[in-house]
Structure 1
Amino acid sequence: MSYKVLITEDINESGKELLREQGYEIRMGTGIDEETVLKEASDCDAILTRNATISRRIMENCPKLKAISMHGVGVNGIDVKSATELGIQVTNAAKANQNSVAEYTIGLILLLAKRTFEYNEGLKAGNWEIRSICGMDLEGKTLGIIGVGTIGTMVAKKAFYGLGMNVIGHKRRLTKPMKTEYGILTNDLDEVIRSADFLSLHVPLTSSTRNLLSAEKLALMKPTAYLINTARGEVTDEKALTKILAEKKIAGAAIDVFDGGIPNMNNPILHLDNVIVSPHTAAFTGRSLERMSYQAALGIVETLKGQVPTFPVNNPNPIDKAS
């Protein structure tokens, strides 16, 4: 059967090729605003999205829609609850980018510790004396990890085995501290924050993690500590973080994600001299983008074939959808 698939933004060829092999018609989107997506998906059987918000209104006005697949892991841009109620399968590319993000996180920790960007900018400005500032060795320093899932565990192991760091991780469902091969896990969030020389965030964005690092929690950090966020911008209180960084109450931060996605260029956090920023690119390697494209397309193929998807996000109510 020939199905139509809207791809809201361009993706690596691997995913498109998989869809073409099934005989599906691919429609490349021209915008990610609600009206454009609604118009272009109106007769589609599936949507593959990167940054578009897929609302209930879109779902209700696309009568053939059976699958929505996320090019990546986080699905906070998709109304999963509504999709479930409407019998629409949501999938993602759950195992596409974990190692890429973990490596990027370790890279940010090294850049902060060794003060590489300060040396780079100072020397390019003609300041040879910038070499008088000192970096730090990571061996023996404590890495605090909030969210010890797949990515958090990879970061922990790379830091422990590769850099000789001590690791303490926060895992909410633990009833008592637990020793692992790479460090200690605890359900005491405050202890993790207080202990960390480097505090790295690896939790998804949910109602319980939004503003998890509030002004109160940020105030628990050591004045010599650094924050690394490659998770979601909304996990921190961005205004409180900006204030604490501007006042030099912590040493600095490396931020790959921002509240609301794309930051306004007037956002003060972009202009602080103790902050490294990047445009949500922790997962953007050639291999990772290939895997994300393929896994996102795979979820659509599996769903449209009536198979249980490899990377399901929800378990939709079985209702009859027009084909």
Structure 2
Amino acid sequence: MPDQPIVLLTNAMHPDGEAILAPHVRLIVPPDARPETLREWAKDANGIIVRAKLPDDIVDHAPRLKGIVRHGVGLDFIPVDAATARGIAVANLPGSNTSAVAEYVMSALMHLRRPLYRLDKSLRSDGWNAARPAADSLIELSGSALGILGVGTIGRRIANIARDGFGMTVLGTSRRKGALPAGIKEVSLEDLFTRSDAIAVCCGLTDETRGMVSRDLIGRMRPTAVLVNVSRGAVIETPALIDALRSQKIGGAALDVFDVQPLPSNDSLFDCPNLLLTPHTAGITATSGRAMAVGSAEEMLRILRGEQPLNLVNPAYKAA
């Protein structure tokens, strides 16, 4: 590539990924990821590696753009249809953070079901005899039912860990009857919320899933049931979840994704009891960060060389 194409990174990434790109391209990283900043910095870019949401009209501001690669899996950060219409390849990295997200879900369930930090705090402040009785109210994961909404790559990994590692019964729902893998009991969406002791929401955000976890479904949850969302904030009817937590109609929740990101400091979620909040980091670890950086760098170089990326998500772009 003699003229050193320009690759825009919406955010800096693992040095190993940047090292793969550096001999072949000129890397640029904007000072922030605001829409107006990304539009300005994209004007000379031949490729974009995406860690922050792109403006819906980004392709109108990037006349030289040949490829967009998601540093991760979810495509809601990328205007795929607009890119396809302009003949721009889009790729992502399925499986790159599967283990990280699955481990997050199980960690969140342990936090909600068996919060050892409370015993630690009580032991330090109140002493041995005062701390021990609190353990009597904690609930084991073993023998309980986990409902998985979104039995894709991540959902299946969660199911394997929950079933084989913790002895949980795993329930799932699918649009296609009989499509779930062995070891996951297929139930209706309503039964998933009625029968589960814990629910993991890990489906993609589409027009169909937007608001899917409705007030009605949350109202069907058991009083001790907990919910973990590693999907997108818009999948859940957030006001209904807030009401359920405040009225203690459910046992608790863990949210890694939100309707508005970053989560405003005055958001009502901060006042909810039994709620674990994390800043969209379920898929982020040192391990997954390196894998996503290396994978996205390699995919970008394939596109810039005129090759098809390994995980092309819009094959129709060539006809544009």
Q: TM-score band (shorter)?
A: over 0.9
> Are the equivalent residues in 2 in contact too, given 1:86–1:316 (CA < 8 A)?
no
Match of 2:206 in 1: 206
1:264 matches 2:264: yes
Query: What corresponds to 2:159 in structure 1?
Result: 156
- The residue correspondences of 1:77-226 to structure 2 (distance < 5 A) are 77-120=77-120, 122=122, 126=126, 129=130, 131-133=132-134, 134-174=137-177, 176=178, 180=182, 182-186=183-187, 188-226=188-226
How far off its partner does 1:89 sit?
Answer: 1.1
Higher mean displacement: 235-244 or 88-97? 88-97
Matches of 1:317 and 1:71, distance apart in 2: 20
CA deviations over 1:58-101 (Å, ceiling 9, x no partner): 21221110111111111212111111111111112222100111
Deviation per CA, 1:9-33, whole angstroms, max 9, x where unpaired?
1100122111123x21111111211
Equivalent residue letter for 2:16? S
Equivalent-residue separation in structure 2 for 1:84 and 1:124 (angstroms):
59
Contact 1:83 / 1:316 at 8 angstroms: preserved in 2? no
SS of match in other structure, 2:186: strand
Q: Which residue number corresponds to residue 247 of structure 1?
A: 247
Q: CA deviation at 1:173?
A: 1.9
Task: Call closer, same or farther: CA 1:116–1:230 in 2, change over 3 Å.
Answer: farther
Structure 1 unaligned segments of length 5 or more: list them. none
Residue 42 of structure 2: aligned partner: 41
Q: Give how far 1:135 is off.
A: 0.5
Aligned length: 315
Query: Counterpart of 1:42 in 2: which secondary structure?
Result: helix
The answer to whether the Cα contact below 8 Å between 1:76 and 1:205 also exists between their aligned partners in 2 is yes
Once residues 240 and 52 of structure 2 are traced to their aligned partners in structure 1, the CA distance between those partners, rounded to angstroms, is: 26
TM normalised by structure 1 equals 0.91
* Cα separation, partners in 2 of 1:123 and 1:209, compared to 1, 3 Å: farther
What amino acid is aligned across from residue 183 of structure 1 in structure 2? Answer: I
The 3-state SS of whatever aligns with 1:51 is: coil
**For 2:224, what is the secondary structure of its paired residue?**
coil
Look up the match of 1:53.
Answer: 54
Match of 1:6 among 5, 8, 14: 8
Distance 1:126 1:71, change over 3 A: farther
Aligned letter for 1:150?
Answer: T
Do the aligned residues in 2 keep the contact of 1:233 with 1:261 (CA within 8 Å)?
Answer: no
> Following superposition, which runs of at least 4 residues in structure 1 exceed 4 angstroms of deviation?
120-128, 176-179
Letter of the 1:55 counterpart = D
| d(CA) in 2 for partners of 1:166, 1:26 | 48
Structure-1 separation of matches of 2:311 and 2:55: 18
**Residues 138-166 of structure 1 deviation map (CA, whole Å, 9 limit, x = unaligned):** 22100000111111011111011111111
Match status 1:20 vs 2:12: no
Structure 2: gaps of 5 or more residues: none
Structure 1's 246 and 117: CA in aligned 2 closer, same or farther, altered over 3 A? Answer: farther
Give the TM-score taking structure 2 as reference length.
Answer: 0.92
